[in-house]
Amino acid sequence: MRVPYGLHKEYFKYSLFLVFCNRITTSAVSAGVLLASGKALDAVAPLYKYGVVSVSNILTTTCQYEALKYVSFPVQTLAKCAKMIPVMIWGTVIMQKKYKGRDYLLAFLVTLGCSLFILYPAAGDISPYSRGRESTVWGVSLMLGYLGFDGFTSTFQDKLFKGYDMEIQNQIFYTASCSCILSFAGLILQGNLLMAIDFVSRHNDCFFDIAILSTVATISQFFISYTIRNFGALTFATIMTTRQLLSILLSCVWFGHPLSVEQCIGSVIVFVSLYAKSFLTRKQRQLSSEHSENRALSPLRANA
Instruction: Convert the pLDDT of each residue in 244-263 to its tens digit.
Output: 666 766 767 776 766 777 77
- Predicted local confidence at residue 127, as pLDDT: 45
Q: Average the pLDDT over 63-75 and give the result.
A: 77
Would the CA dihedral through 250, 251, 253, 254 be positive or negative? positive
Instruction: Residue count of the chain, please give it.
Output: 304
Domain boundaries, given as residue ranges, for the chain: 15-303
How many Å apart are CA 267 and CA 261, to the nearest integer? 10
From residue 58, give the alpha-carbon distance in Å to each of 53, 70, 176, 283.
Answer: 9, 19, 10, 39
Q: Average pLDDT, stretch 118-135?
A: 50
243 close to 274: Cβ distance less than 8 angstroms: no
Q: Which residues contact 158 (CB under 8 A, 6 or more apart)?
A: 95, 228, 229, 232, 233
Q: How far is CA 272 from CA 60, 245, 268, in A?
A: 27, 11, 6
* Residue-averaged pLDDT of the chain: 78
Give percent above pLDDT 70 in the chain.
75
For 133-182, the pLDDT digits (tens) are 445 677 778 888 888 888 888 888 888 888 887 778 888 888 888 889 98
For residue 184, which amino acid is it? F
pTM above 0.85, yes or no: no
